[in-house]
C-alpha cells in the first residue's frame, strides 16, 4: 500500500472520518455531537452550493429555441433539476431539524422507543430519527397498508 493512502483510508466517500469510540465512552457525548454537527453542516453547505449552481446553470442555459422539440427538451431538463432541488430543500429542512435535536440533547435516540440509534447508523444516515428495528417495523406496516 502506498504511504499516502493512510489518510484516505479513514475518510469515507462522504468525506468525513468515522468516529472512533473510546472504551467506556458515554453515548452522545459532546465529542460525538460535534462529530455529527460537522457532518450535517458540511452536508448542508454542499446542498446549498448545488442550489446556487442550479440557479446559475438555469440562467446561463435559458434560451428561447425556435425548434419546439429543443424547447421541450430544455423544459424537461429544467423540470427535473427543479424537482431534485425541491427534494434537497426538504432535506436541508430535515438537516436543520436534526441540528436542533443536537442542540436540545435529543439527538441519537429513537423517537419511537427511546433506545440509542447507534453511531454507525447515524453516520450512514445522519438525519435518522428511529432505530433500525422501529424503522423496519414502520416500513413493514407501510407495505401492508399501501399494498
pTM of the model: 0.79
Is residue 39's pLDDT more than 60? yes
Place 6 in a pLDDT band, splitting at 50, 70 and 90: very low
Task: Report the C-alpha gap between 91 and 47 in whole angstroms.
Answer: 9
Task: Report the C-alpha gap between 116 and 132 in whole angstroms.
Answer: 10
Task: Report the C-alpha gap between 65 and 76 in whole angstroms.
Answer: 14
Buried b (16+ CB within 10 A) or exposed e, 41-65: eebbeebeeeeeebeeeeeeeeeee
**Domains of the chain in sequence order:** 26-107 (1.20.120.910), 108-147 (no CATH)
Going 113 to 116 to 121 to 123, the CA torsion angle's sign is positive
Between 3 and 137, whose confidence is greater? 137
Q: Which of 43, 35, 37 is nearest to 19 (CA)?
A: 35
Which residue intervals of the chain are DSSP H helices?
5-9, 30-61, 68-103, 119-124, 132-146
Q: What is the pLDDT of residues 46-101, one digit of tens each?
A: 999 998 888 887 877 777 788 889 888 988 988 999 999 999 999 999 999 999 99
Amino acid at each position: 500500500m502506498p504511504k499516502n493512502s493512510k489518510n484516505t483510508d479513514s475518510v469515507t466517500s462522504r468525506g468525513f472520518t468515522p468516529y472512533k469510540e473510546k472504551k467506556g465512552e458515554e453515548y452522545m457525548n459532546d465529542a460525538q455531537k460535534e462529530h455529527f454537527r460537522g457532518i450535517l453542516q458540511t452536508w448542508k453547505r454542499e446542498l446549498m452550493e448545488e442550489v446556487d449552481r442550479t440557479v446559475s446553470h438555469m440562467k446561463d442555459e435559458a434560451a428561447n429555441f425556435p425548434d419546439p422539440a429543443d424547447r421541450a427538451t430544455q423544459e424537461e431538463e429544467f423540470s427535473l433539476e427543479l424537482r431534485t432541488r425541491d427534494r434537497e430543500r426538504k432535506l436541508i429542512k430535515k438537516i436543520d431539524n436534526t441540528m436542533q435535536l443536537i442542540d436540545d440533547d435529543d439527538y441519537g435516540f429513537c423517537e419511537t422507543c427511546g433506545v440509542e440509534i447507534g453511531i454507525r447508523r447515524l453516520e450512514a444516515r445522519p438525519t435518522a430519527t428511529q432505530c433500525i428495528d422501529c424503522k423496519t417495523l414502520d416500513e413493514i406496516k407501510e407495505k401492508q397498508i399501501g399494498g
